[in-house]
Structure 1
Amino acid sequence: MPVSSIKAILGFEALLFAAASLVHAGILFGGYEHSRAATAEGVIAAVLVLGLLACIGVPGRTRLIALVVQAFALLGTLVGAFTITVGIGPQTAADKTFHIILLVILVVGLVVIFRSGRVGHGAS
């Protein structure tokens, strides 16, 4: 898989988490405010952005970096899904649906990048 495709996956995921954080902060939409969710999603977005920047800076390690930051995002999303399940986190249908979508996107991204094999310095 080209480095550019991996960077695109990380960028897309970072945008999703940033949007979720802004929604939970009450900035994009009202009615879904949840400060802990906003913070967690903001941290995950930041980690994905840092991973993307690291991929740009060290293209020979793009695959490894992407796998690590996506695994972090998946773990954080699983924690969020668990909090929803036990009644601590946001309980709206939109939150539940969005977490399912995030989990699917992260798992697919991890699988695709893992199966892509090693990305070399010359990949674009």
Structure 2
Amino acid sequence: MESSTIESSENQADDQTRWGEVISRKRTMRALLGVEGISFVLAAIIHAGMLVQGYAHREAMIAESVIGAVLLVGVTITWIRPHATFSVAAVVQGFALLVTLIGAWTIIVGVGPRTVPDIVYHGIIIVVLIVGLGVAWRARGTESE
């Protein structure tokens, strides 16, 4: 009887450790979504000509506003439906990555803004979105833990 009590205590400790890891990953995912969303909103403000002069571009402003809004709505949904955090994160980051790749393509073909900050931002945010999408995709099965 004593060994089953020890095993039960060990199982509870393991469950608590796993639960703590899931909570930590959810916080990290929400923070990442928030940072991504805010970065797109700031890029949109720059392309609106408000924050920095000389970088106004209407189409880029619209695209970045939509991406930023989707990411911020996504982080909000993760608070409303915490059991779906990683699935929501995968969907909104997948959308953001797809639209950002289209933006990178417009830079390459000369339709979009071709400034150094635009090129650098697209390169960095594409890497961040790929990493975030990978983390969210791999963690989807842990949501119910």
TM range (shorter): over 0.9
Alignment match of 1:76 (pick from 72, 87, 99): 99
Q: Which has the higher helix share?
A: 2
The CA RMSD measured in Å over matched residues stands at: 1.3
The 5-angstrom pairing of residues 102-121 of structure 1 reads 102-120=125-143
How far did residue 87 of structure 1 move? 0.3
Residue 3 of structure 1 contacts residue 119 of structure 1 at CA under 8 Å; is this kept in 2?
A: no
**Matching residue of 1:15:** 38
Of structures 1 and 2, the one scoring higher in RCO (CA 8 A, sep 6+) is 1
The 5-angstrom pairing of residues 26-105 of structure 1 reads 26-105=49-128
Residue 86 of structure 2 contacts residue 143 of structure 2 at CA under 8 Å; is this kept in 1?
A: no
Counterpart code for 2:36: E
* TM-score, normalization by structure 2: 0.80
Mapped to 2, the partners of 1:97 and 1:52 lie a distance apart of: 25
How far did residue 5 of structure 1 move? 1.1
Counterpart code for 2:33: L
**Matching residue of 1:4:** 27
Describe the superposition over 1:59-112 as per-residue Cα deviations: whole angstroms up to 9, x where unpaired: 000110000000000001001000000000001111111110110110111112
* TM-score, normalization by structure 1: 0.93
Mapped to 1, the partners of 2:49 and 2:26 lie a distance apart of: 35
Q: How many residues align?
A: 122
Counterpart code for 1:108: V
Mapped to 1, the partners of 2:101 and 2:143 lie a distance apart of: 31
How far did residue 117 of structure 1 move? 4.4
Query: Runs in 1 of length 4+ with deviation above 4 angstroms?
Result: none
Mind listing any 5+ residue stretches in structure 2 that lack a counterpart?
Answer: 1-21
Percent identity of paired positions between Structure 1 and Structure 2: 43
Please give the secondary structure, in 2, of the residue aligned with 1:30: coil
Q: Name whichever of 111-120 and 80-89 sits farther off.
A: 111-120
